[in-house]
Structure 1
Amino acid sequence: MTIQVGDTIPSVTLKWLTDNGMQEVTTDELFKGRKVVLFSVPGAFTPTCSAKHLPGFVQKADAIKAKGVDEVVCLAVNDPFVMRAWGEKNNASGKVAMLPDGNATFTSALGLTMDGSAHGLGTRGQRFALVAEDGKVTQLAVEAPGKFEVSSAEAILEKL
């Protein structure tokens, strides 16, 4: 079942690559007591994700945070090494946290996976953005397949 406005963010443990090596992070840690904008892309280094989605949030991160957001998080069903490299290439450090979901555990718990097998991608996450306050979803914008309209940094900034 797909997560809805009013639902609690599922509790999942993920791994990400930090300056101190591989670290575990829980969604409880990321969301509890905080206002978080999370956006999901089908894949790091893919065309729309690299040309528009991530760069838009990097560029608008300060404006988003000025609206009371504690953290902006990019989620993708990619491994920690790819997510770190993609973040570095896009100057995301300090602006957007790059959250890998290598096994699609979190994306599956959100009910927002997609089958990218026809494109050689396997299971991936749908393109979406959500706002959560203290672990509760307050806004959710899921894109129609192949679209990039409602989950952009500009669209989320307008709703904050």
Structure 2
Amino acid sequence: MSIQIGQPLPDIEIKTIADGRIEPARTGALFAGRKAVLFAVPGAFTPTCSEKHLPGYVQHVGEFQARGVDVFCLAVNDAYVMQAWAASQQVPPGLMLLADGNADFTRALGLERDGSAYGMGLRARRFALYAEDGVVRQLHVEAPGEFRVSSAEAMLAALAG
């Protein structure tokens, strides 16, 4: 069962990628005391993720920051892939990538999917959530093959309304 509105985000060790550096962190500490949007992509360097999903947040990160909201991008990829993807996408300061190489955090959220049919193994479902002080306040999970409710524009609208 996936995480629900009102539940705390699980506290799992993960790798962060910010300003070109890879650092270990715990998700409990990352999300404590802040307003945050966490969006997940099935994989770095994949078409929709690289052409639409991450670029939308790169374009709009300033609008989230103006609302006092930090932005995090999650993928079940290793930290070095996420570091290279951040560089290739020119991810600005204020948008932190999270490498969930073994899918520990993704599985704890209950938002994993089996991409074995596509040679991808276990991956994150495409989703976006809004959390305050580590507690989920909004959760938007995409139907398979869709990209609507987890976009930066959709999350900005959800936060406004």
TM-score, normalised on structure 1? 0.95
Deviation at 1:139, TM superposition (A): 0.5
Deviation at 1:22, TM superposition (A): 4.6
**Superposition map of 1:51-62 within 5 A:** 51-62=51-62
Distance 2:89 2:149 in 1: 22
Deviation at 1:23, TM superposition (A): 2.5
User: What is aligned with 1:23?
Assistant: 23
Distance 1:18 1:143 in 2: 26
Give the partner amino acid of 1:75: L
TM-score, normalised on structure 2? 0.94
- Provide closer, same or farther for how the CA distance between residues 152 and 20 of structure 1 changes in structure 2, counting only shifts above 3 A: closer
Distance 2:94 2:21 in 1: 20
CA contact (8 A) 2:20 2:83 kept: no
CA contact (8 A) 2:37 2:130 kept: yes
CA contact (8 A) 2:111 2:125 kept: yes
1:135 and 2:134 correspond: yes
Give the partner amino acid of 1:124: R
Task: Specify every segment of 5 or more residues in structure 1 that has no aligned partner in the other structure, as ranges.
Answer: none
User: What is aligned with 1:97?
Assistant: 96
- Residue identity (%): 57
Distance 2:61 2:18 in 1: 20
1:46 and 2:60 correspond: no
Task: Specify every segment of 5 or more residues in structure 2 that has no aligned partner in the other structure, as ranges.
Answer: none
User: What is aligned with 1:37?
Assistant: 37
Aligned residues: 159
Q: How far does the alpha carbon of each residue in 1:32-60 deviate from its partner, in whole angstroms, 9 at most, with x for none?
A: 00001000000000000000000000000
Deviation at 1:15, TM superposition (A): 2.3
Large movers: runs of 4+ above 3 Å:
16-22
Partner SS state of residue 8, structure 1 = coil
- Provide closer, same or farther for how the CA distance between residues 92 and 22 of structure 1 changes in structure 2, counting only shifts above 3 A: closer
Distance 2:151 2:17 in 1: 25
Distance 1:61 1:54 in 2: 10
Deviation at 1:66, TM superposition (A): 1.1
Which range moved further: 58-67 or 72-81?
Answer: 58-67
